[in-house]
Amino acid sequence: MSLDPVSPADDPVLSGDGNVFLSHLVKSAVSVLAPFLALVLVWFAFAGADYQRSARLNKEATFNTVPSLRQVLRDASQVGVAALGMTLIIIAGGIDLSAGATMSLAATTAAWCFREQYNPLVGLSAALLTGCLAGAINGTLISVLRLVPFIVTLGTMTIFHGLGLILAKNTPIRAFGKVPDWIINLQRPSPEPAWLQVSSGVIVMLFLALLVALLLRFTVLGRHFVALGSNEATARLCGVHVERTRILVYSIAGLLIGMAGLFQFAVLSGEGDPNQGIGKELPVIAAVVIGGGSLSGGRGSILGTISGACMMSVIQHGCVTLGIQTSLQKVIIGLIIIAAVSVDQYRQRRLAN
């Protein structure tokens, strides 16, 4: 199965010229593999820097190890799951600045359900439905009121954060000892069960990535998402129900962001903090952009998004290993985002010419 970037231009017209087809094939392969290759290069860059630093200090290098890889993957899973939802939104020509607040609201809702000792499935469903409902609200406001997604989600970001604070009464909701192990295991540092080798959250992320790839590649709804992001007017002329499709894409994305909120709840071992997700929308969007997603819409890559999420985690973990301050980490990530967007804009200009 292919997890390559989704774009109307991905189906070339075979003119019979073998060179044209081969050129297109090479470009497609490079486009698919570039984010993954960049991830590998970043990993080995940090591994080399850690080795030199450790040799200078007469210490054992810790970055290029199995435990380090497990931690990077575990930390990437929360951003990765939310970024899958953001990929759908960006492919459809939208943006969601409320993703971080939605994650926190979903985690807080789950914590409240567990604290009140509802059935574990109720807590799980509450987190997912909270995310889905938040996404549906965003999609409806954008479609019905015909407002810019940036403005709508900027407003709902504050609203969802406020709702989380109201539910939690301005203090984190703690449900310690009342949460099943299978939920906490989603983000447990040591894999449980041990034979998984990685935390179960990583397995969930990869499974969801496969489902999203299938949705985009083999369903009519997925093609409608791409058409909507490529050219809304053309999509409407082709019979796509634009408003309904936009509400659906935000709702499905919200479901994935709600799952990421459950991951956040698991990271805190059963605590729902309405402030924990503030700012998380930035690494989520960055993962999509670094992975080849176009903020202009109509283009995105599931493999690229997962690679982008892992790259964000590698950079964060690598900076901590090398003793780089958190403030400088943010500068580095910001520069990477600008570079990724610049590459995308350059690519768009070349296609236009």
- Domains of the chain, residue spans: 63-352
pLDDT of residue 1: 43
pLDDT of residue 25: 62
Q: Does domain 63-352 have CATH number 1.10.1200?
A: no
In this structure, what is the dihedral angle of CA atoms 39, 40, 45, 50, given to the nearest 10 degrees?
A: 100
Please name the residue that has the structure tokens 């299938």: 214
Per-residue pLDDT tens digits for 112-133: 999 998 998 999 999 999 999 9
Per-residue pLDDT tens digits for 272-331: 999 998 889 989 999 999 888 888 888 888 999 999 999 999 999 999 888 888 888 888
Least trusted range by pLDDT, from 88-102, 139-153, 170-184: 170-184
Helix (H) or strand (E) holding 272: strand 271-272
Q: Which two tokens stand for residue 8?
A: 């109307």
> Whole-angstrom Cα distance, residue 17 to residue 209?
35
Q: What percent of the chain has pLDDT over 70?
A: 88
Q: Are 232 and 129 in contact (CB under 8 A)?
A: no
Per-residue pLDDT tens digits for 7-62: 554 454 444 555 666 665 666 666 667 888 888 999 999 999 989 988 888 888 88
Helices of type H across the chain:
18-57, 66-91, 99-115, 120-144, 149-168, 181-184, 200-218, 220-230, 232-237, 242-267, 281-290, 302-321, 326-352
- Which of the pair, 343 or 203, is modelled with greater confidence? 203
pLDDT of residue 12: 47
